[in-house]
Structure formats: structure tokens, C-alpha cells
Amino acid sequence: MAVLSYFANPHRFMAVSRPFAWGFTALGAALILYGAYQGLFVAPPDYQQGDAARIMYIHVGSMWLSVFAYAFMAGASFVSIIWRHAIADVAAKSAAPIGAAFTALGLVTGSIWGKPMWGTWWEWGDARIVSVLILFFIYLAYMAIWQAMETPQKAARAAAILCLVGVVNLPIIHFSVDWWNTLHQSQTFFTGEEKATIDFKVPMYTVALGYLSLFGGLTLLNMRAEIMLTRAEMLAQRKMTTAG
């Protein structure tokens, strides 16, 4: 709590966050480029799926990040509701468009993989696909709430409640391939069976780590922009009050 209390002050946050924001963003971009190059052009084709499996180097990490980003937002929303930290709402709001973008990337790349594997771009009967689509809609609804409410305070409260309610979808996404027998393949990583070789795992984890670093950097940049916008609005209001 001491760390949360320290960074709840926008002035302290702005003073510390700038090098981390640009550093994480640059590191993330470098890791993604390197990992994607290794996966798309250097790694051998999959023994079953051939070159069609190369889209997995882009797809899998984006799916991991889409869930992680939402969990991050839920944690920030929880802190906002319980302890009313000013930065918590900013963090959740700033992470939302990035999480939505990664979710969209995961849906698109998943469809690209599904066409040669399943013979269709989309399958409504697949629990994993549908639950991820629901996650994407929750992201959109969260961002819409911030734009629709009359005051930032009301928007923050309503958005935080929606975010926490939407957490129920995360375990559905994760366990959907185990709970229902649908088209989507079973878990490949973090299981007792070594289904993926080291040639596949290294580029995959490199891209995933790059996504995580990029998410951190872009979220910090969004938070800084949000704080600066709030400062500018407060300054404009003071000038109008003084002039009046």
C-alpha cells in the first residue's frame, strides 16, 4: 500500500514515469520485431500445420496480453473502488484501448489461422472464439462509458463496476477448451505435455514478452497524456473563472 500511496500523487507519477514509458515501448517494439522475424522466417514449419502455424507467433501472445490487460484493468478498478486512488482510474482507462487492440489482433489472426485449419474464418460454436469476442465487446463498452457519463467521477465509478463484473469472462476464456469440446485446439503451453518444441517456444515467448513490454510502455504514455489533459482542462477553467 505504501507504493500505491506514493504513486497516487500525479506529480510523483509524472516525475518517475517518463523514462519507463519510452523505455518499455522501445524494448517492446524491438522484441516483437525480433521474435516475429524469427517465427515467420527462421523457425522451421510445424510438422502438422506447416507454414500455416506461423501466424501463431503473432496470435498466441496477443491472446495472452488481451486477458492480462483486462486483469490489469480489473485490479486497478478494484483499487479505485476500495481506496479511491486517483491514478487507479487513469491506469484502467489508459489500458483499455491497448487491451482492445490486442484482443482485435488476436481475433483477426485467429481467423486467419482458422481458415486453412477449420475451413472457415469464424465458428460461432467455438467457446474460445465467442468468449474472446465478448471480451472485446466489454472493452468497447468500458471505453464507451467513459465518453457517455456527464462527469469523470461518475464515469470512473460506472466503468470500474463494469470492469469488475466482466472479470467472470476471464476464466471462461482460459478454460473454455477444457470445459467444452469445440473446434479450438487444447492448451499447448504451461501444461504437463511438451507439445511445442524449443524452436517454436523461443520466438513465441519473445513476441509475448515484447507485447507485455509494449503494453506497459503505451499504458504509461496514455496515463501521462491523460494527466496532462486533466491539468490543461483545470488550467483553462481557472483562467475562465479569473476572467469572469
Q: How many CA atoms lie within 13 A of 61 on its CB side?
A: 26
What is the number of residues in the chain?
244
The predicted structure's pLDDT at residue 190: 43
DSSP 8-state secondary structure symbol assigned to residue 50: B
d(CA 43, CA 188): 17
Give the pLDDT band (50/70/90) at residue 244. Answer: low
Indicate the SS3 state at residue 46. Answer: strand
Percent above pLDDT 90 for the chain: 61
Q: How many H-runs (helices) and E-runs (strands) does the chain carry?
A: 8, 0
Quick check: 221 and 97 in contact, CB under 8 A?
no
pTM confidence score: 0.90
Burial class of residue 38, CB neighbours in 10 A (0-12, 13-18, 19+)? middle
Task: List 50's β-bridge partners, or say none.
Answer: 46
Q: Could you give the dihedral angle defined by the CA atoms of residues 69, 71, 74 and 78, in that order, rounded to the nearest 10 degrees?
A: -130
Phi-psi label, residue 193: left if phi above 0, alpha if psi -120 to 50, beta otherwise: beta
DSSP 8-state secondary structure symbol assigned to residue 194: -
pLDDT value at 5 more than 60: no
The predicted structure's pLDDT at residue 8: 65
**pLDDT tens sequence across 108-143:** 999 998 888 888 888 887 888 999 999 999 999 999
6 phi, psi to nearest 5 deg: -65, -45
Q: In the chain, where are the structural domains located?
A: 21-191+199-243
DSSP 8-state secondary structure symbol assigned to residue 44: P
The predicted structure's pLDDT at residue 216: 98
**pLDDT tens sequence across 181-228:** 666 665 555 444 445 678 788 999 999 999 999 999 999 999 999 999
d(CA 99, CA 64): 10
Q: Which three cell numbers stand for residue 116?
A: 486453412
The predicted structure's pLDDT at residue 239: 80
pLDDT value at 3 more than 80: no
Percent above pLDDT 70 for the chain: 88
d(CA 95, CA 70): 8
